[in-house]
Amino acid sequence: MADNNYDVVIVGAGIIGAAIGYELTKKGRRTLNVEMLPAAGYGSTSNSCAIIRLYYSTLDGCAMAYDGYHYWKEWAQYLQAPEDEPLASFIDCGTLIMKTEQNEGLRKQLVHLDALGITYQHWSNQQILERFPFYDLSNFAPAKPLDDPDFGEPTSGEVNGAIMFPNGGYITDPQFATRNIQLASERVGGSFLFNSRVTEIPTKDGKVQGVVLDDGTRIDAPVVINVAGPHSSQINALAGTDKDMNISTRALRQEVVHLPAPEGVDYLSTGCVTSDSDSAVYTRPEVGNNILIGSEDPPCDQHVYVDPDDYDKAFSDQWTLQAQRLAQRFPSLGIPNTMKGCVDLYDVTEDWIPIYDRSCIDGFYLACGTSGNQFKNAPVAGKAMAELIEYCEAGHDHDREPMQYHLKYVDREISLGTFSRLREINQDSSFSVLG
């Protein structure tokens, strides 16, 4: 680098880090995204399920997701991309949520959705079977481990229909989407530095001074943002910002399953995003006529928190468990001997709601705990964090008077205090990947 002085250093170049850099650069800041890996979106973002959905545990969470949906619909416009630039694809196939005893038929969430004017449909079991004739709609809850003698045995009755959100779907290539944002940021003057790990965050008189890299290079900046994903807790410890955080972050090991659809089932055409708290899995179509299967983190599934630099990347019995749980709902599903999918990390808080906030060190900001359910919100998070930084750097006390962020498409204000590091654990959370 010819110049080691920047207005802002963003630690991380995943989907949210890239979006924050993009938005701050558009505001005239000289930004540098520092990434320990070889490319933007190369870390946990690359294995994101990249689901775009509108339902969350809180009103602000639903509003943010609804706003985010529109950015994905207008992706080229958001990126200010040239007409000939290849872009990530948004498959707007809808999302189907089973009404179960576990989610109370989304009763609490529907209040938020109605307040925001979000479109949804109540589907009967007959309507579900018209779309998915291969489904068994029996109840199997509560979720059980594989060694439970009653695993796979129906309990009583059937699911109570479903809710279909026609607006929603998934991004086919999350790393490519991040690359799109990187190029957009670079077009307006943003910089990226790869294969460089932050090893020190110097401070003076309670204010951040920049970062020091593993090769000894010091980069001076009055603003540093921690968007380091599963490494966020390590970055907070380097800066000493964890001392006042009521909400913390940890790296959580996760497995995602890819199974081929049964012969004769064109799942890429007929499938959609599904969430099923009775069988405790969510799904979406995957390239090659496969089905992607993730866990909805039921109580019987052990949470394995790990060192993000040293964890087991091999599939375990959890892979088989998730595959078998979907097979309860989808009996003709074959489960091959060869395991396919991915093992990666989430960066999660105690209530699975992210931290978008300042810190106790002036100039040091947090965009942490975002894994599992915030990919879809990246454009909104980028804009909100850029405004938060301007708000705080102008002398406003965000801890006492939380900034109100005005959503572009929803025409509504949300309080960024919802995502404060000082908040109490949100008891309305699903305490799962659903957020």
The domain ranges of the chain are: 8-86+173-249+351-419, 95-166+251-345
- Please determine, for residue 306, whether its predicted confidence score (pLDDT) is greater than 50: yes
Under 8 Å between Cβ of 416 and 401: no
Q: Which CATH number is 95-166+251-345 given?
A: 3.30.9.10
- Tell me how far CA of residue 273 lies from CA of 183, 290, 355, 395, in angstroms: 29, 13, 26, 43
- 133-153 tens-digit pLDDT: 999 999 999 999 999 999 999
Query: Residue 132's pLDDT band (boundaries 50, 70, 90)?
Result: very high
CA–CA distance, 381 with 370 (Å, rounded to integer):
10
Give 32-87 as a DSSP string: EEE-SSSSTT-SGGGG---EE----SSHHHHHHHHHHHHHHHTHHHHHT--TT---
Question: Using CA atoms, how far apart are residues 91 and 96, in angstroms rounded to an integer?
Answer: 14
pTM: predicted TM-score of the whole model, two decimal places: 0.96
**pLDDT, mean of residues 72-92:** 97
Percent of the chain with pLDDT over 70: 100
d(CA 56, CA 115): 13
The rounded distance, in Å, linking the Cα atoms of 61 and 83 is 33
The pLDDT tens digits of the residues spanning 368-397 come to: 999 888 999 999 999 999 999 999 999 999
Confidence of residue 1 (pLDDT cuts 50, 70, 90): very low
**Which amino acid appears at position 178 of this protein?**
T
The rounded percent of the chain whose pLDDT value lies above 90 is 95
Q: Dump strand ranges (E) for 39-155.
A: 51-52, 90-91, 95-98, 121-123
Arithmetic mean of pLDDT, 244-272: 96
Helix (H, G, I), strand (E, B) or coil at 433: coil
Helix boundaries (H) for 271-342:
317-329
Give the tens place of pLDDT for each residue, 169-187.
Answer: 999 999 999 999 999 999 9
φ/ψ (deg, to 5) at 16: -80, -40
pLDDT digits (tens, 9 = 90+) for 332-361: 999 999 999 999 999 999 999 999 999 999
- Mean pLDDT, rounded, of the chain: 96
- Collapsing DSSP to helix, strand or coil, 222 comes out as coil
Partners of 33 in beta bridges:
10, 192
Cβ 46 vs Cβ 172: under 8 Å: no
Which band of pLDDT confidence, cut at 50, 70 and 90, is reported for residue 435? Answer: confident
pLDDT of 354: 95
Nearest-angstrom CA–CA distance, 93 and 413: 28
Q: How far apart are CA 246 and CA 271, in angstroms?
A: 41
Cis peptide, bond prior to residue 142, ω within 30 of zero: yes
Is the pLDDT confidence value at 237 over 70? yes
**pLDDT tens for each residue of 314-325:** 999 999 999 999
Helix axes 15-26, 174-187, angle to 10 degrees: 20
8-86+173-249+351-419 and 95-166+251-345 agree in CATH topology = no
Residue 58 confidence (pLDDT) above 60: yes
> Who wins on pLDDT, 80 or 433?
80
Question: Judging by DSSP bridges, how do beta strands 90-91 and 169-171 pair with one another?
Answer: antiparallel
Selected from 3.30.300.30, 3.30.70.920, 3.30.470.20, 3.50.50.60, the CATH number assigned to the domain covering 8-86+173-249+351-419 reads: 3.50.50.60
